[in-house]
Amino acid sequence: MTKRNIVISLNSGEQMGGVERHVGDLIKGLSHEFNFTVCCKYGPMVEEYRKYGGQFVELYPHFDFDLVFLLKFFKLLRLLNPVVVHAHELKAGFNATLAAYFAHVQVRIYHVHTPITQWQLPQWKKKTLFKLNIFANKVAGNIFATHVIALTAEIKKERIDCEGIKSTRIVVIPNGVDIKKFRIQSSEFRVIRNETRKKWNIKNNEFVIGNISRLTEEKGHEILLKAFTKLPKGKFPFLVIAGGGHLKSSLKALSATLGINDRVKFLGKFTDEDKVKILLGFDIFAFPTLAEGFGIVMMEAMAAKIPIIASDLPVLKEVAGGTVEYFKVGDFSDLGRSLESFEPNSDRVDKAFERVKNRYSMERFLNSYRNLYGI
């Protein structure tokens, strides 16, 4: 049986964020059933897509409305004749679904992972661009696309109430987690943890607060750094932050200003294999995000049985339920209090693992997209 073509459009393949991980999971899990072609900016994630069986074309929009991209993408669609175009985020999503609309692609999927209403834009930019973004999002979702993805029921509600997307267009498909990657025997766990701590120059008996996320405004690292200053040094000696992003220099400068730069370790970018090792090096995972579409890294921490303190965003509460502890979003004092009063709870982390296994398995994720792509 001839495999059908699917074209995925996104802006970047430079680092492993939630969008890039989502695309990698789709290709890895479904490449034996579909031919995937990924159009994006070249980066390390592209090699992962290729390893899983995907094809790559370096083609992505440079502008919010990019006529050159539209023409090239339209030509590519005519050549490949895909049954599905799956476009991620506003810039790539608007342009790619527009081209797919005129190319008469049968299934046109538009997927903005974090709701536009939650984007952390500078005030001057928010005033000028917010209404334009909402308008473009509404046009892409209600006209160009045949399906709009929401990662949770909470996000679906926001798409309808705040973004003006028709409910009939929206399909709720949560992300999935490959539980097998996190099923590690206790003896192996100790070896990995020891090796990881050694690389960080941190002793095994020293408590580590950890975070994994892009260094961007919406991830709330400034809140985490300020909360860390409230904690007694003897009990909480280290904070480890993994991830790259444009705020790296400013966050390092802030940690120096706060007088904690000798206790904060910025690991920078990492591979997917390293992510598991990094998680196992943490004693607790702090997730101070200000805006989130799903929180895949929180789910991975749950799968790794790492205790979690997270922002009380409705979407995170929907995903994790009562298996993690929450603090008031944006409130570094409340986060500091939650961290200082933290007590290990093996029953809670076991329930968190079971919640991921039962609700957010990779099998359920892939089956949902298999059905959507097969329409």
Instruction: Give residues with Cβ within 8 angstroms of 366, minimum separation 6.
Output: 25, 26, 29, 30, 176
- Residue 141's nearest CA partner among 173, 170, 175 is 170
Query: 177: which DSSP letter?
Result: B
Return the domain boundaries, the chain: 4-176+362-373, 179-359
pLDDT of 1 reads 66
Same topology for domains 4-176+362-373 and 179-359, yes or no? yes
Angle at 68 between CA 64 and CA 73, to 5 degrees: 95
* Contact (CB, 8 A) for 148 and 111: yes
Domain 179-359 homologous superfamily, CATH: Glycogen Phosphorylase B; (3.40.50.2000)
- Cα 111 to its chain centre, rounded Å, is 13
pLDDT of 357 reads 96
- Residue 289's nearest CA partner among 228, 202, 346, 212 is 212
Tokens of 204: 């095994």
pLDDT of 216 reads 93
Angle at 372 between CA 292 and CA 114, to 5 degrees: 10
* Contact (CB, 8 A) for 193 and 281: yes
Tokens of 239: 């904070």
Q: Count CA atoms within 13 Å of residue 184 on its CB side.
A: 18
pLDDT of 140 reads 98
Taking only the tens of pLDDT, the chain with its 375 residues reads: 689 999 999 987 666 788 999 999 999 999 999 999 999 999 888 999 999 999 999 999 999 999 999 999 999 999 999 999 999 999 999 999 999 999 999 999 999 999 888 887 666 666 778 889 999 999 999 999 999 999 999 999 999 999 999 999 999 999 999 999 998 888 899 999 999 999 999 999 999 999 999 999 999 999 999 999 999 999 999 999 999 999 999 999 999 999 999 999 999 998 888 999 999 999 999 999 999 999 999 999 999 999 999 999 999 999 999 999 999 999 999 999 999 999 999 999 999 999 999 999 999 999 999 999 986
Span 4-176+362-373 CATH architecture: 3-Layer(aba) Sandwich (3.40)
